[in-house]
Structure 1
Amino acid sequence: MGKKANVYIVISVFTLIVLMLLQYSRPKEINWFPSFVSQHKIPFGTFVLNDVMEKMFQGQTQQVNKPPFEFLNAEENNAGTYFFVNDKVEFGEAELHTLLDWTSKGNTLFIASAGFEEQLTDTLHLKTSGLYADFGEEQKQRHRLTNPQLQSEDGYIFDKDSHSLYFKSIDTLNTKIVGEVSSVSKNDSLAKKQCNVLRQSFGQGQIILSTFPKAFTNYFILKDNNKNYTAGLLSYLDASQPIYVDNHYKSGKSFYTSPMYIFLNTKEFKWAYYLVLFGALLYVVFEGKRKQRAIPVVMPLQNQTLAFTRTIADMYFEKGEQKSIIEHKIAYFLEYIRTHFYLNTLKQDDVFYQHLAMRSNHSKEEIIALFSYIDQLNASTEPTDDALKKLNSLIEKFKAKAHGK
């Protein structure tokens, strides 16, 4: 390896090391994935919410990792509040029926979701719609609580969504509006307030629905004074009874099964892993090149069958043994008929000629003429070269027409 090549290698390695150092020192990107998992400390996790609830409802919160259907059927005395928070909560017919039946017995069902299944909204006589900012307006929403004791003069601003869901139609006789949402506009007095949190009695219990699940995330709670909005919503929960916090319906994973997660999620382990891979690559390139030996080229054996056949044929032809050549030629032709058309060649009668003509795309007369000439050659004691050439020509024409050529 020349000096010029060594210089290029050194420059390449140095550049790669610099790039890796710059990448290592770069600030870690914020993960905005809406996981809603209680252990996650990312912006849209619910670690702060669970910490707040444990302090507000001391000894009353219980983390539930089972599906609601399984949990409610397994527990005999499970009265209280079932608390769901996720980007999307959809139960299914059987599970929803179980939850509603449990709620009607004097319990509370709290669901914060950016969308609800049709069966639930139809049961509660609700209809939802989307709230979007006008063109040129900021993509922000202002959230308020309707309870005078929980109201804030300026409301609570959320600036991480371009739209918000609200209830455009509610059952006014049984429903109480708990929270409202409006778009932040230049003329705030003209912004129309829409219901996005409501409470509705259901049997002997109650159902609380919120279309703003991100009100319970780390980002919203820790920003400005937004914690008062979240605390206001939590104040509607009965602190005297157990509160079952759902961990089943979550967009994110509460634990990771892949062992590579530890390496790739921790900066130090991740770059140590990359360095090991880079070192292994360098070892393969340089060590492998140094020990590699030239592999000799072994030519494959040639098929000498055709050359051997031609040699034997030339010997027969030169010795004038046309009779032997004709006999071999006829024998190979009959074998060809047996293997390609599956006919018995021992008895050459009208039935044989008819079947061979049908299978080889020939007329019966052409087959009879060919085999008549073969019989003529078999009967001849000293056939000529012309007779041999004519036989070969007839056989080749037969094969060509039989194969559609």
Structure 2
Amino acid sequence: MNKTFQLYGIIFIILMLVLALLELNKTEVTDWRKNFEVNQKSPFGLFVFNKEANHLLNNELNRSDRSPYEHYKTQKENLHNILIIQSEIDFESWKKILEHVKSGSDALIIAEDFHPMIADSLHFKTSNVSLRTDNILTLTDDKFSNDSIKIDKLPAGQGFSAIDKDQEILGKALLDGGKVNFIKINVGKGHFYLHTEPLILTNYYLLKPENQKYVQDVFSYLPKRKTIWFTQSNKANTESQSPLRFILSKPPLRFAWWLFLAGLLLFVIFNAKRKQRIVPVIEPLKNKSVEFVKSIGNLYLQEGDFHEMMAKKAQYFLNRVRHELMIDTQHLDEKFVQSLHLKTGKSLEKINKAIDFIKRGQDPSASVMKEDLMQMNRLLDEILK
């Protein structure tokens, strides 16, 4: 076996052992965030309430994961109870709820904060949040005088103020100056019950037997009939939409998943390093023709042999005429002049003058000056431009 591969294997095994030890020694951290999610077992989830809600509401509870607007748009309901716990309510849904309550249904809304449209519709105001770290909630009805609940962790401290005459006070917070936290509002033929402390329904408080009676008292205000609990907002806010949510929710499966990803990453890194080779850079061949022509030209220019340069230019020009214009250059006669005139469109005067220069270049005894060479060069380039 390759020694490098053995080294990689040892490093991988050590890394996996370290990860396993860290996972085994990891202590679960309690999530104290307020999530109010029906399937969440953390202290402030609603898992226990979700299990006991059917019994609490006389086994006439229906859960809906749609908004009230969507639910009532597709389904007709007789008189019933409406339950909403710490959920956002859009304007169209609120209109549907208000419509059903006016017709004789009852609604229990338990939330830390109420949307301004609810406060405006029902004519109430909420007071500022208290700075207390604990509180004791009681009910004002004498028959519930012995039932209370102590909120000793993260109380909302919210309350109602400016209570109207047609609004009935049902509950208060004793340690917060008797702040009102539970009221009843008559609307049409039905009633709204508003409570400002949803913590009373969370796992942390419901698992204490002394608190269960208070919760039963709160729900006893609802008539014994069908209750629809709208859970859509709670579920949407907290449940992961990832396809891996089941794997990541289970510690053993989550550890196996990360282990698999780590092994896959190491395999890719080491395998790529083993197979990758440096690609050599191949320089393209350089075109030396231009450099050669410049060198020859400079040589003739330094020697001052203008006649030879004129002969080379004439030879180059005639070669282009043969190959590009397909004109016979053996005889530079009138026929040649006419053919070149027709194919280039240049004047007969320029063509005749160019032929004179070509013939001087071809005549070994002709006298040629530098100016003649320059004039010929410009004229020939202009003809075949």
Same fold by TM-score, threshold 0.5 exceeded? yes
Whether contact under 8 Å (1:156, 1:229) holds in the other structure is no
Q: Structure 2 residue aligned with 1:176, among 151, 168, 176?
A: 168
Give 1:245 deviation, angstroms: 0.9
- Cα deviations across residues 98-142 of structure 1 (Å, max 9, x unaligned)? 211210111101111121121221122111122322xxxx62233
Structure 1 residues 254 and 54, CA, compared in 2 at 3 Å: closer, same or farther?
A: farther
SS in structure 1 of the partner of residue 234 of structure 2: coil
- Cα deviations across residues 340-386 of structure 1 (Å, max 9, x unaligned)? xxxxxx99xxxxxxxxxxxxxxxxxxxxxxxxxxxxxxxxx74369x
**Aligned-residue CA RMSD (Å):** 3.7
Question: Any residues of structure 2 matched to 1:67-106 within 5 Å, and which?
Answer: 67-86=67-86, 88-92=87-91, 94-106=92-104
Structure 1 residue 160 and structure 2 residue 154: aligned?
yes
Query: Equivalents in 2 of 1:154, 1:59: separation in Å?
Result: 25
Query: Equivalents in 2 of 1:319, 1:204: separation in Å?
Result: 115
Query: Equivalents in 2 of 1:169, 1:105: separation in Å?
Result: 26
Partner in structure 2 of residue 356 of structure 1: none
Partner in structure 2 of residue 264 of structure 1: 248
The normalised TM-score by structure 2 is 0.71
Question: Letter of the aligned partner of 1:295 in structure 2?
Answer: I
Partner in structure 2 of residue 142 of structure 1: 136
Q: If you compute each CA radius of gyration, which structure gives the higher value, 1 or 2?
A: 2
SS in structure 1 of the partner of residue 221 of structure 2: coil
Q: Structure 1 residue aligned with 2:125, among 124, 127, 130?
A: 127
Structure 1 residues 254 and 159, CA, compared in 2 at 3 Å: closer, same or farther?
A: closer
Whether contact under 8 Å (1:128, 1:167) holds in the other structure is yes
Q: Structure 1 residue aligned with 2:297, among 313, 316, 321?
A: 316
SS in structure 2 of the partner of residue 132 of structure 1: coil
Question: Letter of the aligned partner of 2:114 in structure 1?
Answer: F
Structure 1 residues 104 and 223, CA, compared in 2 at 3 Å: closer, same or farther?
A: same
Partner in structure 2 of residue 277 of structure 1: 261
Give 1:274 deviation, angstroms: 2.0
Structure 1 residues 151 and 301, CA, compared in 2 at 3 Å: closer, same or farther?
A: farther
Question: Letter of the aligned partner of 1:165 in structure 2?
Answer: Q
Query: Equivalents in 1 of 2:286, 2:172: separation in Å?
Result: 88
Structure 1 residues 286 and 225, CA, compared in 2 at 3 Å: closer, same or farther?
A: same
Question: Any residues of structure 2 matched to 1:16-55 within 5 Å, and which?
Answer: 17-55=17-55
Question: Letter of the aligned partner of 2:100 in structure 1?
Answer: W
Give 1:19 deviation, angstroms: 4.2
Query: Equivalents in 1 of 2:70, 2:270: separation in Å?
Result: 60
Question: Any residues of structure 2 matched to 1:173-252 within 5 Å, and which?
Answer: 173-181=165-173, 183=175, 191-223=176-208, 225-239=210-224, 241-250=225-234, 252=236
Whether contact under 8 Å (1:35, 1:252) holds in the other structure is no
SS in structure 2 of the partner of residue 164 of structure 1: coil
The normalised TM-score by structure 1 is 0.67
Question: Letter of the aligned partner of 2:75 in structure 1?
Answer: E
- Cα deviations across residues 130-181 of structure 1 (Å, max 9, x unaligned)? 2322xxxx622332222222234775223124x422112221x111111212
Structure 1 residues 56 and 293, CA, compared in 2 at 3 Å: closer, same or farther?
A: closer
Structure 1 residues 275 and 310, CA, compared in 2 at 3 Å: closer, same or farther?
A: same
Whether contact under 8 Å (1:199, 1:206) holds in the other structure is yes
Structure 1 residues 99 and 293, CA, compared in 2 at 3 Å: closer, same or farther?
A: closer
SS in structure 2 of the partner of residue 200 of structure 1: strand
Whether contact under 8 Å (2:148, 2:211) holds in the other structure is no
SS in structure 1 of the partner of residue 252 of structure 2: helix
Unaligned runs of 5+ in 1: 184-190, 329-345, 348-380, 392-405
- Cα deviations across residues 209-254 of structure 1 (Å, max 9, x unaligned)? 1111222122221136222222221111112x11111122226568
Query: Equivalents in 2 of 1:270, 1:169: separation in Å?
Result: 52
Whether contact under 8 Å (1:106, 1:203) holds in the other structure is yes
Give 1:36 deviation, angstroms: 2.5
Give 1:12 deviation, angstroms: 8.1
Query: Equivalents in 1 of 2:140, 2:267: separation in Å?
Result: 68
Q: Structure 1 residue aligned with 2:284, among 290, 294, 301?
A: 301
Partner in structure 2 of residue 355 of structure 1: none
Whether contact under 8 Å (1:24, 1:267) holds in the other structure is no
Count of aligned residue pairs for this structure pair: 319
SS in structure 2 of the partner of residue 220 of structure 1: helix
Unaligned runs of 5+ in 2: 318-344, 347-367, 379-385
Query: Equivalents in 2 of 1:115, 1:384: separation in Å?
Result: 99
Query: Equivalents in 2 of 1:23, 1:201: separation in Å?
Result: 56
Question: Letter of the aligned partner of 1:91 in structure 2?
Answer: D
Partner in structure 1 of residue 360 of structure 2: none
